[in-house]
Amino acid sequence: MRQLEEKEIKELIETALTQRNFSYAPYSQFRVGAALLAKNNQIFTGCNVENAAYSPGNCAERTAFFKAVSEGVREFDAICVVGGKEEKLTDFAAPCGVCRQVMMEFCEPDFTIILATDTENFQCFSLKELLPMGFGPKNLD
């Protein structure tokens, strides 16, 4: 795993917070933003995009992953996720199980997941911590 510098973490948090402004969440009012750092140093952003039929909705994390993969980028170091109903965030928004599984597809066990409310309040987890004993591509070898 690449050790992230404090400056990089803060940039990811700021990017995710900005991206959260684009969230389309008229049904839950739970607005989520994500900033995904690729190994080539590109940052891919995402927000949640809900739908009147509910199930077609997409999470912020998967939006970011699918944007990256659809542009040919498949190697990642970290993702920052910020979310909540209020304008000012008070709690960390942890990735849902489906998003953790998408991370499992493309990331190493030490991929970093940064949960934040603002640039001063954040916590880093590894994918292995948030998805222990996950099923991934290696299981099909």
Residues annotated as catalytic are 61
How many residues form the binding site for ligand THU (CB under 6 A)?
16
Residue whose CB is less far from ligand THU, 30 or 119: 30
The whole-angstrom separation of Cα 85 and Cα 29 is 6
- Which two tokens mark 14? 């700021």
The whole-angstrom separation of Cα 78 and Cα 43 is 10
Residue whose CB is less far from ligand THU, 1 or 96: 96
**Restricting to residues 49-78, which ones interact with ligand THU according to CB under 6 A?**
50, 57, 59-61
Residues sharing a CB contact under 8 Å with residue 68, sequence separation 6 or more, in sequence order:
36, 38, 42, 44, 74, 76
Note whether 30 binds ligand THU by CB under 6 A.
yes
Note whether 33 binds ligand THU by CB under 6 A.
no
Nearest one of 12, 34, 33 to 21, comparing CA atoms: 33
- Which two tokens mark 5? 């510098």
Q: How far is the CB of 59 from ligand THU (least distance, A)?
A: 3
Q: How far is the CB of 56 from ligand THU (least distance, A)?
A: 11
Member of 12, 68, 99, 130 binding ligand THU (CB under 6 A):
99
